[in-house]
Amino acid sequence: MTTSLLLAWFGTLLGLIRTIPQLLVTRREQNLSGLSVIGCLGVLVSMLWWCIYAFLVGDIFLAVSSIGATIPPLLIWGVLSRKRLATTTHQAYLVVGIAVGVVSGFIGFNVVGLLASTSTVLYAVPQFWRVAKTRNVQGISAATWVLTGINTSVWAAYGVREDLLPTVLPALLLLPTAFLILVLKVSDHRHAGMNSPHAVNAHL
């Protein structure tokens, strides 16, 4: 089995599971103040664009990964809509995003590939900005961002080997975002631990 094939299988597996932890957190937690709704919308639109690109270039691994990776964000969007965090304006943005992807697909795979690769901006930047500005990571799944960082790195390596630039570019934004979120998550966990009754008793 070649290195590219191993990377493709691993990336496909990670793509299928990486947003599941965030889905569980979104359904379970009442406080989602640290989660960017625009970022969640961006993930969904981005995955839809990747689906279109994967089918156009005929990459079965990327297609399976993209389709599987679209399901949890779609369910997350349903939860956000049910909790009235996703507004009518957000829903309109989703429709526009889908339309842009479809039209770009008719223009050519290079166009939708460029859209897909740069679509990281749609969710990495809003989430990065929200976390950097507020230092609030409530409602954000650390596990999803660990898996996202690994998944992005795997597909970047695959893209380098297979000369698929669109799978390389997302790493430039996703890795710094994942790092910031994980650092703040660890800090938040330590702070919560210090303020817990057990921690207080331990220091008395």
Cα–Cα nearest to 112, from 54, 32, 27: 54
Per-residue tokens: 85: 């965090």
pLDDT band at 200 (very low <50, low <70, confident <90, very high): very low
Residue 204 has pLDDT above 60, yes or no: no
Report yes or no: 100 and 51 within 8 Å, Cβ to Cβ.
Answer: no
Higher pLDDT, 141 or 201: 141
3-state secondary structure 57-105: HCCHHHHHHHHHHHHHHHHHHHHHHHCCCCCHHHHHHHHHHHHHHHHHH
Where do the structural domains in the chain lie, given as residue ranges? 3-189
pLDDT on residue 74 = 92
pLDDT on residue 201 = 39
Report yes or no: 6 and 109 within 8 Å, Cβ to Cβ.
Answer: no
Cα–Cα nearest to 35, from 16, 22, 18, 47: 22
pLDDT in tens, 127-162: 888 888 888 888 899 899 999 999 999 989 998 998
pLDDT in tens, 37-63: 998 998 899 889 989 988 898 888 788
Report yes or no: 16 and 138 within 8 Å, Cβ to Cβ.
Answer: no
pLDDT on residue 177 = 86
**Confidence (pTM):** 0.75
pLDDT on residue 131 = 85
Give the whole-angstrom CA distance, residue 33 versus residue 50. Answer: 28
Higher pLDDT, 166 or 79: 79
